[in-house]
């Protein structure tokens, strides 16, 4: 009886080690994926396009400018809109940006 | 005594196999996402392109700026010649960052998008080129009959 218990304890500890190793590996992989994805998103964020639209919105664009801008944006696969007082809208496959005042 | 020792050995072998299988599973299931160097280079080149367009969109730059260039364009069959100051300015910047560029101007005329290619910057880009653009409001531009244009810069090394 004593012999069997000792033998089972070795397997039991091995199973515990396996669980710990798998858990740590899962957490490690999740951290790496989260880090890469967040840094990629930061690099892909269209900050320059939004800044450009923000500058245009401060030049009091006419209705004609806005309608031509929308067509040019559509050619690039974006949905853009600018209005008075820093109102900027920018949408692409990754970002949905809508600001009442982009200067803030 | 012998039986006890053999059982321990068997249990030890089973335990080591268990750990071995778990370690193998961990290494097989690990996701490796290694961004390549070219990806970082493209991001850097793209930022340089945005910076070039930003500094050249200068209200006080006269002929060497985007606004001055648009006012003094001479176009023929879709190919437009920018002022010498603009070409020199852009060429110097491109030489400083060891890059080549293609510069296009897009605008909307009568509901259709027209594209003008700038003389001196009409080379065909390589497959690993990056593209940046900037919208500029224009007034009294001779070639471009539009209120706003997209200045599109394609950069490669």
CB contacts, 8 Å: A69 with chain B: 135, 148
Q: How far is CA A8 from CA B11, B12, B19, B86, in A?
A: 7, 10, 15, 82
Pairs of residues, one from chain A and one from chain B, whose beta carbons lie less than 8 Å apart: 90
User: Do B51 and B99 sit in the same domain of this protein?
Assistant: yes
pLDDT of residue A75: 92
Range of the structural domain that residue B89 is part of = 37-156
Check whether residue B114 and residue B75 sit in a common domain: yes
CB atoms A68 and B147 under 8 Å = yes
Same-domain status, B14 and B48: no
**B21, B85: one domain:** no
**Are residues B63 and B133 both part of a single domain?**
yes
| Per-domain boundaries in chain A | 1-44, 47-99
Q: Are B143 and A61 in contact (CB under 8 A)?
A: no
> B11 vs A61: CB contact, 8 Å cut-off?
no
CB neighbour burial string for B118-147, b if at least 16 within 10 angstroms, e if fewer: bbbbeeeeeeebbebbbbbbbeebebbebb
Please identify every stretch of chain B with a pLDDT value under 50, giving residue numbers as ranges.
none
At B53 the pLDDT is: 95
The confidence score (pLDDT) of residue B35 equals 62
Interface probe with B: pick from A21, A47, A68, A70, most Cβ of B within 10 Å: A68
Nearest to B137 among A22, A65, A71 (CB): A65
CB contact under 8 A, B26 and A53: no
pTM over 0.90: no
pLDDT attached to residue B58: 85
ipTM score of the complex? 0.76
The residue that leads in pLDDT, B131 or A1, is B131
pLDDT above 90 for A35: no
Summarize the confidence of residues A66-80 as an average pLDDT: 93
Find the closest chain B residue to A61 by CA distance: B137
DSSP chain A: -HHHHHHHHHHHHHHHHHHHHHHHHHHHHHHHHHHHHHHHHHHHS-HHHHHHHHHHHTT---HHHHHHHHHHHHHTT-EEEEEGGGEEEEE-SS-EEEES-TT-
The number of domains in chain B is 2
Q: What is the pLDDT of residue A5?
A: 58
CB contact under 8 A, A11 and B18: yes
pLDDT at B132: 95
Give the span between the Cα atoms of B15 and B22, in whole angstroms.
11
Residues B24 and B78 in one domain: no
**Residue B29 and residue B57 in one domain:** no
Instruction: Please enumerate residues of B whose Cβ is less than 8 A from a Cβ of A.
Output: 3-4, 7-8, 10-12, 14-16, 18-19, 22-23, 25-26, 29-31, 33, 35, 43, 50, 54, 106-108, 111, 113, 132-135, 137, 146-150
Q: Which residue has the higher pLDDT, A18 or A43?
A: A18
Find the CB nearest B11 among A11, A29, A53. Answer: A11
Distance CA B117, CA B123 (A): 10
């Amino acid at each position: 009886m004593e012999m069997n218990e000792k033998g089972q304890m070795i397997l039991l500890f091995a199973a515990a080690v396996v669980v710990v190793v798998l858990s740590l590996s899962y957490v490690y992989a999740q951290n790496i994926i989260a880090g890469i994805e967040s840094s990629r998103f930061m690099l892909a964020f269209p900050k320059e396009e939004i800044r450009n639209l923000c500058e245009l919105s401060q030049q009091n664009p006419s209705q004609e400018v806005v309608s031509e801008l929308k067509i040019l944006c559509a050619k690039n696969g974006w949905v853009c809109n600018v209005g008075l007082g820093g109102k900027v809208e920018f949408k692409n496959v990754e970002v949905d940006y809508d600001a009442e005042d982009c200067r803030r | 005594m012998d039986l006890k020792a053999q059982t321990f050995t068997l249990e030890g072998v089973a335990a080591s196999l268990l750990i071995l299988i778990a370690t193998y599973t961990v290494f097989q299931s690990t996701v490796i996402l290694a961004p390549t160097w070219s990806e970082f280079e493209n991001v850097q080149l793209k930022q340089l392109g945005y910076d070039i367009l930003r500094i050249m969109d200068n209200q006080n730059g006269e002929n060497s700026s985007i606004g001055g260039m648009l006012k003094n364009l001479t176009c023929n069959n879709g190919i437009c010649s920018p002022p010498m100051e603009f070409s020199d300015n852009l060429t110097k910047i491109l030489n400083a960052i060891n890059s080549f560029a293609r510069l296009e101007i897009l605008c909307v005329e009568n509901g259709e998008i027209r594209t003008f290619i700038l003389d001196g910057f009409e080379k065909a880009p390589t497959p690993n080129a990056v593209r940046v653009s900037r919208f500029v409001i224009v007034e009294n531009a001779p070639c471009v009959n539009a209120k706003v244009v997209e200045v599109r810069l394609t950069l490669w090394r």
